Amino acid sequence: MIRSALRRLGLMPSGAHRTHRPPPIQPDPAGRQRPDPYDDPYGPAPREPLAARSTAPRRALTSFLIATERRLRRIRGRARRTHQGARLVSPLMRRILLVNALPLAILAVTLLFLNDFQNSLLESRVGALREQAHIYAGALGENAVTRTITRTAPHLDDIGFDIDPALARPLLVRLTEPSPDARAILYGPDGRVIADSRADAAAIQTLPERGAHRSHRHRATDTPAPPAAAPRHDPEPSAWSPPHDNALETTYDWLLSLLPLSSRTGIVTLDTPDEAPGPRATGSSGPPAEMPPYIRRTRQHQLVVTVTEPVIHDGETIGIIQLTRQAAEVDRSLFAVRSSILSLFLVALAVTVFLSWYLSLTIARPLLRLAISTHDIRDGAGRADTVPETLLARRDEIGELARSLRASALALWARMDANERFAADVSHEIKNPLSSIRSAIETLPRIENTERRERLLGIINNDVRRLDRLITDISDASRVDAELSRTRAEPIAVTGLLAILVDIHQTTRGPHDAILRLAATPEPDQSLCAWAVEDRLVQVLRNLIGNAISFSPPDGLITLTAQAAGAFVEISVADQGPGIPEGKLETIFDRFYSERPNSEKFGQHSGLGLAISRQIIEALRGTLHAENLISPSGQIVGARFVVRLPRAVPTGR
């Protein structure tokens, strides 16, 4: 953006950034070359163009604006990370919300089925409808019956009873008037339709007076009978089903139809047959068995219940009444219960979403702030403590993570400082023998004396050996941490290891060399074990023993001791030398520090032995320190180096 603005202002070329060059010298029209005023030191200064004279200010302005653009990019990157930390819906929040809301949703969907509740409502509805059909059948059996006489033999008549259609039709209409959503169909014993409350309601308006049926029996044929092809199943209730009150119920019906176990259309299971109960031919031997109800849903997703009851007169079944009614109150009850469940679910879901959002804020936001802190540490924006104090003060896992991150950053910076100091020390220590070798080599050609030449060659040889020893120790020191990180510590029998070192020294001991002695321990040799890497522990002990030998007087005594100290094993190497100067008990462990006896030749030690020894022991989660041995009279009679390592249980090797 800033570069394009510079190009529009003419402060920056459109191509790559390049410096201004003066225009080339044009040849003379006559063919002569014009003199270049730049080649004449005494000639007049050329008059540069305005753009050439303003090159330096333009470069300064361009550099400033480019630096500003880079700074703005860093600020935008930090703002982008901050915006990512401030977003309301983080991936962690989505996971938390899914874990919290999914069981709640499964429970709500499970409760929406309400099969047992629906069955109980349908059973009560079927019972009420069956009672109503029983009342209708009783009324028809008492008030719509006519006597019939059938001659079965020359002198034998069979007297029976039959339903009079002229009486049954208005009576059936009158019975169903209080229930406009009900439809009753009366069938004869042979299965033909005698009366239909829906078909006869328009034709019959009044009921004949009681007793008039006998005098007007011959007029029964005046009433038009229902067609022979009258339907034998329950009527389609779409013509008389009330419409939905509002869009909520319509939406409810649609959602209910999406349930995998809901029956939008078809038979509703309630121990019902697979077909509607139709009229069956009945004999006069007795009433038929009670038929189960037939329940189904229409295309409008409304429940319709159908029951049948026999019409009995004087113990004889003379017909069957089929009563069909819409069970809207069942749907309303289910709707009310499901609405309550959904309302509670929505409230619980809202609370779950809020709590999940709050939980994600308490987890995701601190983690994002820690991520921003790590970005700042990675970008190397100084060594300021970028971890917020509010996170460091927390007493939960986030606080532990923040403190661990801060400790890791401090350890990283300390390691970087140590590496810088080590590199500087290595450079200094290597330059000393190199400078000596260089001086000797430069001086050697100018010396003709053979004795002095041999002396210079000896100096060069000693410096080369010193340099080789120094490089070896530096390489060893740089590999210690890497090797120990790849090697697992194991139980090491300390007493047996010290005994082997004592035997080796005593076998190779020269005349008047120091004497090595292992002090007796109260525990068996194999019971005192420490967690360590055997090769590195031997290296540390050899360094300490060699250091003690170099400071011990002729025929001096060096004592090795191993003993248990609680959860640690304590190993000490004590000598009878001059001790350690006051204030140097910690300095001697610095890299390249050397405090040698006056009788020892210079350059025999690199000053890395004790530093490497402490580095190894600390990598094994132990400690190494030095102390002076004080006599009862208060004089220093020697030095002692103490190694403490974690104690291990013997493995039985």
Cα Rg for the chain, rounded, in angstroms?
Answer: 55
- For 42, the token pair is 């005494």
Does the residue 543 lie in any domain?
Answer: yes
The H-assigned helical ranges of 582-640 are 609-619
Q: How far is CA 646 from CA 76, 499, 568, in A?
A: 51, 20, 4
Distance from C-alpha of 303 to C-alpha of 294, rounded to nearest angstrom: 11
- For 211, the token pair is 């007793």
Does residue 235 sit in the same domain as residue 151? yes
Does the residue 84 lie in any domain?
Answer: no
Asked if 558 and 575 touch (Cβ cutoff 8 Å), the reply is: yes
Asked if 611 and 590 touch (Cβ cutoff 8 Å), the reply is: yes
Distance from C-alpha of 365 to C-alpha of 85, rounded to nearest angstrom: 6
Does the residue 468 lie in any domain?
Answer: yes
Does the residue 200 lie in any domain?
Answer: yes
Q: How far is CA 238 from CA 234, 250, 264, 295, in A?
A: 12, 15, 14, 15
Task: Report the CATH number at residue 614.
Answer: 3.30.565.10
- For 635, the token pair is 């004089």
Does the residue 307 lie in any domain?
Answer: yes
Instruction: Examine the fold and report which residue of 299, 328, 357 is the final residue of a domain before the chain moves on.
Output: 328
Buried b (16+ CB within 10 A) or exposed e, 62-76: beebeeeeeeeeeee
Does residue 175 sit in the same domain as residue 193? yes
If 0-12 CB within 10 Å is exposed, 13-18 middle and 19+ buried, where does residue 432 land?
A: middle
Distance from C-alpha of 115 to C-alpha of 112, rounded to nearest angstrom: 9
The H-assigned helical ranges of 289-396 are 328-379, 389-392
Q: Which amino acid is at 235?
A: P
Task: State the pTM of this model.
Answer: 0.48
Does residue 578 sit in the same domain as residue 432? no
Does residue 538 sit in the same domain as residue 502? yes
Does residue 217 sit in the same domain as residue 274? yes
Asked if 557 and 638 touch (Cβ cutoff 8 Å), the reply is: no
Instruction: Examine the fold and report which residue of 460, 485, 510 is the final residue of a domain before the chain moves on.
Output: 485
| SS3 at position 493 | strand
Looking at residue 330, what is its pLDDT? Answer: 80
The H-assigned helical ranges of 380-392 are 389-392
Q: Which amino acid is at 113?
A: F
Does the residue 13 lie in any domain?
Answer: no
Does residue 511 sit in the same domain as residue 407? no
**Three-state SS string across 77-127, please?**
HHHHHHHHHHCCCCHHHHHHHHHHHHHHHHHHHHHHHCHHHHHHHHHHHHH
Q: How many domains are there within the chain?
A: 3
Does residue 230 sit in the same domain as residue 277? yes
Distance from C-alpha of 144 to C-alpha of 167, rounded to nearest angstrom: 5
**Residue 583 is inside which H or E element, if any?**
none
Distance from C-alpha of 250 to C-alpha of 585, rounded to nearest angstrom: 90
- The range of the structural domain enclosing residue 614 comes to 487-648
CA nearest to 264, candidates 303, 305, 307, 238: 303
Does residue 135 sit in the same domain as residue 207? yes
Q: Packing angle between helix 534-551 and helix 494-508, nearest 10 degrees?
A: 50
All residues at 6 or more sequence positions from 484 whose CB lies less than 8 Å from its CB, including other chains = 533, 536, 616, 619, 620
Q: How far is CA 92 from CA 98, 359, 367, 368, in A?
A: 10, 10, 10, 11
| SS3 at position 581 | coil
Distance from C-alpha of 626 to C-alpha of 588, rounded to nearest angstrom: 9
Reported in sequence order, the residue ranges of 393-523 that DSSP labels E, i.e. its strands, are 490-493, 515-518
CA nearest to 324, candidates 300, 311, 308: 308
CA nearest to 192, candidates 163, 154, 232, 150: 232
Torsion of CA 391, 394, 400, 403, to 10 degrees: 50
Distance from C-alpha of 295 to C-alpha of 266, rounded to nearest angstrom: 9
Looking at residue 394, what is its pLDDT? Answer: 84
Looking at residue 472, what is its pLDDT? Answer: 82
Looking at residue 491, what is its pLDDT? Answer: 92
Does residue 506 sit in the same domain as residue 641? yes
Q: Packing angle between helix 328-379 and helix 397-443, nearest 10 degrees?
A: 20
* φ, ψ for residue 570, nearest 5 deg: -110, 120
Task: Work out the number of other CB atoms within 10 angstroms of the CB of residue 359.
Answer: 15
Does residue 295 sit in the same domain as residue 315? yes
Torsion of CA 12, 16, 18, 23, to 10 degrees: -90
- For 293, the token pair is 């109800």
Does the residue 359 lie in any domain?
Answer: no
Does residue 281 sit in the same domain as residue 425? no
Looking at residue 647, what is its pLDDT? Answer: 93
Task: Report the CATH number at residue 412.
Answer: 1.10.287.130
Looking at residue 239, what is its pLDDT? Answer: 36
Pairing of strands 515-518, 557-565: parallel
Instruction: Examine the fold and report which residue of 485, 503, 524 is the final residue of a domain before the chain moves on.
Output: 485
| SS3 at position 144 | coil
| Averages of pLDDT over each 10 residues, the chain, 653 residues | 51 46 46 42 43 53 67 57 53 78 79 71 84 88 78 58 84 85 87 82 48 36 35 41 52 58 47 47 52 80 85 86 85 80 85 84 82 77 71 84 85 82 78 83 84 85 83 79 81 90 87 85 70 91 91 90 91 91 87 66 67 90 93 90 90 54
Looking at residue 488, what is its pLDDT? Answer: 87
**Residue 532 is inside which H or E element, if any?**
strand 529-532
Does residue 475 sit in the same domain as residue 531? no
Pairing of strands 182-187, 156-163: unpaired
Looking at residue 642, what is its pLDDT? Answer: 95
Does the residue 77 lie in any domain?
Answer: no
Distance from C-alpha of 523 to C-alpha of 500, rounded to nearest angstrom: 17
Asked if 519 and 486 touch (Cβ cutoff 8 Å), the reply is: no
